[in-house]
A and B are shown apart, each in its own frame.
Chain A
Amino acid sequence: MLFAALYRLFAPRRALLFLLTLLLLGAGLTGLTRLEVREDIESMLPDDTSRVADDFRRLQQAPFARKVLISLHGSQITSTATLLEAADGLAAALSSEYFSRAATGPAMLENNRLPDWLETNLPLLLGADDRQRIADELTPERVRGRLETDYQRMLSPEGWLLKGGIRRDPLELRNLGLDKLRFVNPIAKTRLHNGHFLSSDGRSALIIADSSVAITDSGGGARMLEQFRQAADGVLPKGIEASLVSGHAYTVANAEAIQRDLFVVLTASTLGLAVLFMLFLRSWRSLFVFLVPVSVVGLAAVAVSWCYPAVSGVTLGFGAVLLGIAVDYGLHVYFVLRQGDEEPEIALGRISRPVLFGALTTLAGFAVLLTSSLPGQRQLAIFAMTGITSALLLALIVLPHLVVPGWRPTPRRLYQSLAVEPRRKSGLLLLLWLAILVGCSWKVAEVPINGDLRSLSLIPAELLASEHELQQTWGNLRSLAMVFAEGGTLQEALAANDMLFELLRRELPEAPVVSLAPLLPAATTQANNLRHWREFWEQRGEATRRLLREAGAERGFATAAFDPFFAGLQRQPEPVTVATLRQVGLGDLLDALLLDQGEKVQLVTLVPDTPEVAALFTADAALPPGIHLVSQARFGREVGNAIRADFMQFLTLAGGAVLIMVSLLLRRPGKILLALLPVATGLVVMLGTMGWLGMEFNLFNIVATILVIGLGVDYGIFMVCLDDPGEDKATRRAVLVAGMTTLVGFGALVFAQHPALHSIGATVLLGIGGAVPTALLVVPALRRERR
């Protein structure tokens, strides 16, 4: 056998072997320090050309995704003036180091040029529907009604202010222009008070800020939040409270939760491993077993960096935890050398076969992840495969020289009761196993798959309450769906945007839409509007003049009262451009809704994220070219579908790979089935219990499932490879301890508050919790039954 021969080769040259090993591991650790690590979640999203990947990239451009929203709430007795003063004070107190801009109101309403600008540009902005509305107003009754209103307004004390407007626009056509402003207000539930955002109940004010801190920067985010708290404590008067909602708050909450969890989980798993050590190992040399997976982390990370320019932080963290499974190989080697009755090279030769095959099945499981569309999962596959291979070689070539045989611990009663004497209760045991299997199978298909990435994040109750309050007070700012109208040039994009707006108004007339189209139509649309406007008044101008004269005379208006109106109809307005919109104070809106990326221009339209909107943008809908819907709800569903498809693909491929490996190793159908029993039981118990408990399946559960498959098969192979299940106590003990170290190491994650860590812990705890007893108790019992 190869490994027995290698043992003999290095036995007299141990110093050289250790030196080579240290050099290799040292190189790995050096490489680890030079890695470029990325902390964002993008590695956990598809990087292919799929719609999910495309949607994610577009979601990053949501106008409010990167904004910091600060809502100020006053008490019952807080006056509006005090509240708005507090908002101004807090905005000024926010440090420019973290908050690059803080606005307490929309810039567009800070100047009064907008109404006049709209009135002047009506010929360019009004479309066919608007012209029809004008035509409907040009009846004697309607005109008489309008002039009666104008007359009464002239009687009021405000009359001298309104006179010019009434002469220029007796029919109030300007209302059609003002009506377009409702399409450029993304904060649905706001009203403006002295240029400030004020909630409809008058009790809350809003600050919208930009931040130079990256949303994924937990350290910078924490400092930013602290600065906000200090500023709020310093400037807000008694009775006014401020809450901040932004992506930073989530990042900081998650980073803090993970730090707390790591303390709890590491404490729990360290204590657990210490107990296992005291019960089963009791030798300082066993520490080398635990060093095997730790020492290969650097090598695995370097291997990933050879394939990818930047390594995901998630891959490193999760991969390092995953490598904990490599401790199993060392445990088998340790037990067979330390507690077996054979010479080391014979024992090594005997154990190397199942260890090698166990590792190969695990590698096959992880190799399946190479087909994933998620770069993070592919990186994880390379990381795990390199780490497992390195750990396997260390366990079979180096570890035997560190674990000197000769010491035997006294068998413990706990171990005996758990694994050695099951034979008298075989029937009862098998019945119990079968009952559990049937009970769990019942619910396997009922595990829902949750593709919402937010479900992988910890959302503290306080933050959730702030988000809910923000939504109640100001509308659904942060989760509107976006529709992109794209073009190679600004005019192409504007033309697509016009078609999109028309579609939305036609199909979903009641939906609140935020779009630039009503105020910035494409040049061709403006030219068309102007042409139709002129044709309209050429046809109706004289009749309208007559109507106004006759109806006006009834109310005492002079014949020339409305000459300014007819003069205005002849004016030639300048085309509306991006520059003119900036001049009238719509710069913020342009920055949010117009994305000029050089080679292409995109215009964003915000719509409610409802099934009706999604239905309008289904794949088979006849949409104008360059139109794409990006909806968080649909994105969640698509990621969910991708996870479901990935899971089925992984399960099929991993199952097939494992079956092939086990068949090659064991060859006999009976043995193959027995070897697969622990993994099958583990999966059924895992999914069934999740179904009974109403738990959901997420992105991290897939990787954890592959872990369960790899380890579960290992246990089966080891137990089937035993010549006599009752006699080879070293192997049985190795399986038991390996299973328990996995349960302690990964299962401790179930104590974590963070949903991602908790879900990994729960999956492994249930899966391995089902596989280990099956391997140790059911497999031997069935083998006895067969005999």
Chain B
Amino acid sequence: MNYETSILAVSIFAAFVLGVLGLSVWLGSRPQSAGGYFVAHGQVGWFVNGVAFAGDYLSAASFLGICGMIAFFGYDGFLYSIGYLAGWIVALFVIAEPVKRLGKYTLADALNSKFNSRGLKLVAAISTLVISLFYLVPQMVGAGALVKPLLGLPHWAGVVMVGGAVTGIVATAGMVSTTWVQFIKGTMLVVFCALLMFLILERGFSLPNTPIGQDEVQSYRKDASGVIVNGSPLSAENQLDTKLRAAHGVGFGSIAQLPDGVRATGPLGPIAFIETFSKSTVTTWKKGTDAAGATTFTPVERKGADLLLPGSSPTFKGVRDDRIASKLDFLSLMLALFLGTASLPHILIRYYTVKDAAAARKSTVVGIGVIGVFYIITLYLGLGAMTSGALDPTDSNMSAPLLARTFGNTLFAVISAVAFTTVLGTVSGLIMAGAGAVAHDLLCDVFKMELSDREQVRAGKLVAVALGLIAIVFGVLFEKMNVTFLVGWAFNVAASANLPALVMLLFWKRTTKQGIIAAMSIGLVGSLAWILVSADTLEKIYGFSAADAASRALVPFSQPAIVTVPLGFLTLIVVSIFTSTGITKPQTSPGIA
């Protein structure tokens, strides 16, 4: 794909990003106590906190990943939107107010509020760190994907830029600054995506200049002499979509046939847009490999109505399969999305940045409103990208920015800058959660180090730098993964490790500290182990072929939540029963005696 840089685009991008950074650092530049550094003194207003919730939550997975998945596979990306939003219902009705009442700085504070156990703090801190790292990886991958087309820089450069900027934010100003980054980013994301949706509806759908033939396979391969695209060396004049554009006036992703035989629809309303798409035929591109080992992209015409059904992507293909293991994989991911949101450490700590339970509740409602609007918009962005003629078939994460480029370089730069600040906002929140877990939970409470307020803040900043470096390394290693797919794993681990402990602590009086420690340990280790030996990991991380991965996998499906969440609840109940004081008095119970 042709990723030429434009001085205008780079200037707008730089102004946007530096403006957001400068504003947030200025707003958060007051001297910091530990309470100020980790939870912004608990004095953030509920509305600002609600929008910051959206800024924290709407990560690279939501913007780049979901748009990319819808652009490549249709409805399957929207399933993530539905699941991510539904998770906020658990947060609002089950978790928000009690967690606010129980905690101070971190998830471990809430879980340990009744027990004062070092063991529990240790497990909760480890859980926070692992989940935060899992969630950090896709954000960094998203950052790398962004700078490639905009600045002409390699993937690793984007990862380093985000890592450096975020570490700077967190290490200088803490949660106050992070809150403002997230507030500004949340607002900009929704406003500019709404603008993009408006432009998509105004443009409507149109056909390519000439129909794309089923035999027009595009290919590329890398050899010792460099990258060969469609039989000739890669150059500015010979990109993967060059032949297509010359022949048909569009690149990858276009409408093949519109209803009623028209060539262009003109402007459409939101309902008419979906209806027209549903009745159209779309040219999608199937990835494969030819006899010479080149990667090929073959045009496949698909009915719009079929693309608005689940099961087109590798992640959700089990829906169309009659095997029970495939169904369970789908159910498990949808369960993880539903239960994972309320278990994410960087979301939970935002309940401590407001002053009371009522503010926690109100800010969650604001968050649901902003996030809901955004997820409805993502459907239009994804379908707009799918038919924009501007997709990069090698990188689904670039679909939304490339869609923006079809409306001009200025919008491309603005959307890319918004996406970049999206990554900044989420990564800031994740690093804050990790810094709090290490500095507050591990150093002070587990290792009993006597740290003054100032020393806690300093320790938090050092941890932030370390986490930033680790995230940079992972972001480079996982370059080719779809960011939404990676985030799905983080949700599985979060739901398995944290949710049983949180729910039972709040609603079952016989819960013991041993029960919580056991449930969190089993949930964390169990879900991680399941993921590491699953077919998806064998294929996408270890590089096995799909058939080899399926035969070597040690678990019947790849998403663990449907097994590991109930396992966490069961572990907590059994261990709590055996360790609660009411039961450990066998002498008084004739049945046990």
Q: A and B from one assembly? A: no
Interface residues of B (CB under 8 A from A): none
